[in-house]
Each structure stands twice: as C-alpha cells, then as structure tokens.
Amino acid sequence: MEKEYTDFYATVKLKNSEEIFSVISPSYEGDKTFLLLYNPVTIDEVIIRGQHCYKIDPWLKTAVASDIVIVNMDEVLTIVECFDDDMIKTYNTFLRRTNSDYQKQNLSRKMGYITNINAARSYLEKLYKS
C-alpha cells in the first residue's frame, strides 16, 4: 500500500551540517525514500540595531526560484516540521519577491555582453599609453 503524505513546511538538517528550510514532500521509489524540496532556502539569524532578524538566501544560488530539489533520505540527519506562522509568512514573502524579480527581467542574448577581447585589449592599450 502506498503511503499518502501532504506537503509541509520544515527545516531539514543534513549530515554535512547544512540546514535548509523548505516545503517538503516525501517520495518513495521502491525501497528508497527521497525528499522533494520546493524552493529550498537557508535562513540565518542576524542582529540589526539590536533586533533579531532573519536573512533568507536560496540554498542553491544558481537555480531558478521555482526549482524542485531531490534529496536522498540517507543524507538527512533530522527533519523538524515548522508551525511558526511568522517564519512561513517570511518564507512565502521571500518567494513572491524572488519570483516576481525573476519574471520582471526581459532576458536577451546580449545582456552582460560588454565587448570582445580584441576591442578590450585595444582600449586598455590606448588607456595605458596615455
């Protein structure tokens, strides 16, 4: 019989000491258990002007915000479900802002292109000689 679980918010502590906050869904493939992490982030507590605040960063810096990450249960030390409404609201606000910032960008092939190597070399040589 297949086990049924619903998605839940939780912090996952990996064996390599990383802590990840995410919406989690267990997945079973044969005799192996995997965790599907939706939009995993790291959360650090920082103190700003005497106030305790949270700094949220994507766990994988180069992944798109809507990515799903699969983690083998063999790499997990523990999972703690989160019931803190403030933490969940902060996480969801971060995701909304990240996704809207990502969607606002009109990407093109020319973005980030400044010059080619020959033109840059020529410009720097002229600048050095003057």
* 43 to 21, 46, 73, 81, 96: CA distances (angstroms): 7, 10, 21, 15, 16
pTM: 0.67
Which domain does 95 fall in, by range?
A: 8-105
Could you tell me the sign of the dihedral formed by the alpha carbons of 9, 36, 20, 42, in that order? negative
Domain count, the chain: 1
Within a domain: residue 28? Answer: yes
Which tokens belong to 104? 């606002």
Give the position of tokens 């000491």. 17
Could you tell me the sign of the dihedral formed by the alpha carbons of 36, 41, 44, 49, in that order? negative
* Rounded Cα gap, residues 38 and 7, in angstroms: 9
Within a domain: residue 59? Answer: yes
Within a domain: residue 126? Answer: no
pLDDT digits (tens, 9 = 90+) for 18-64: 999 999 998 888 888 889 999 899 988 889 888 888 889 998 887 76
Q: What is the pLDDT of residue 110?
A: 59
pLDDT digits (tens, 9 = 90+) for 79-111: 999 999 988 998 999 888 876 555 545 656 555
Q: What is the pLDDT of residue 65?
A: 56
CATH code of the domain containing 48:
2.30.30.100
* Rounded Cα gap, residues 11 and 45, in angstroms: 14
